[in-house]
Chains A and B, each alone.
Chain A
């Protein structure tokens, strides 16, 4: 019922009208939790819809339980450590003035493709396919462009996942559990 139509019941010696208003205006805790859950679901769906994540990420979420409540966060953290290391290796190899060791770059790309597949980082995995083609054709400029895109996608995905984990934390702080 819209608030301007609301008529408080006559006060028969019970709670004051101020208290009545306070009770009326305060959203129930369950509504806050439902809203947070809906926000999380919408955000997760958007990450899948926009291609940031694929079903492999959902598989990882299925592995998280009470005995390993931070499993996904732990895996994601290890993934980004790996990403950083591989991007640094590739940047170093591609910045060689004399001759680029494309085999080394390819090896790092292969590893990144495997890691990103395993964590469900779909856009990064797909970039690795194009990156490999540039390595195979020893296209230095192409490799540099791919590296820049990989770097950009890693930063983007990291931010997106941080938002996801923050939304999950909101639910936990409100006394709820993460729907899997």
Chain B
């Protein structure tokens, strides 16, 4: 689970620097998966949940490029096995860029592969196909610039 930020804002004295919770309709989510079918399913699940701003990317490089060009997201759903750049590498690059969005891995892989994926900077990892309840937490956690991802190794 992602941690809530507890540090004070600069010049402040002990108060929480936590942004208010964003309503679902204003959340921006990025779905990164090389399979058109999975992008269609994930997008439909999110739209059904009330999230209208869902962008998709077909591989890790496209996801990174979106961020290089200034896009920001509240939540990124990242597949592992993708051509050009896989989910592991994409997550490392996003974290190295300073991206603080929640990144949840979506994969049917297990064992060492999943462990490595988690260690790349994910907040969590869910199995494919995921049910919306598995990522509900990441749609409700208050947005905070001091909200560090759970598995990030700086």
Which residues of A approach B to under 8 Å, CB–CB?
A: 56, 59-60, 62-63, 65, 68, 71, 74-75, 78-79, 82, 107, 110-111, 113-115, 117-119
User: What is the interface size of chain B, counting residues whose CB is below 8 A from a CB of the partner?
Assistant: 15
Query: Could you tell me if B128 and A117 are in contact, using CB atoms closer than 8 angstroms?
Result: yes
Check A79 against B37 for contact (C-beta < 8 Å).
yes
B36 at interface by CB-CB < 8 Å: yes
Residue of A nearest to B39 (CB): A78
In contact, B81 and A111 (Cβ under 8 angstroms): yes
* Min CB–CB distance B114 → chain A (angstroms): 13
Further pairs besides A75-B37, A114-B128, A115-B35: 5, Cβ < 8 Å: A62-B48, A111-B35, A114-B35, A117-B128, A119-B37
Q: CA separation between A119 and B45, bound complex, in Å?
A: 13
Task: Name the prevailing secondary structure of the A interface residues.
Answer: helix
Minimal beta-carbon separation of A71 from chain B (angstroms): 6
Q: Which residues of B contact A114 (CB under 8 A)?
A: 35, 38, 108, 128
Q: Are B35 and A75 in contact (CB under 8 A)?
A: no
Contact with A along B48-81 (1 / 0, CB 8 A): 1000000000000000000000000000000001
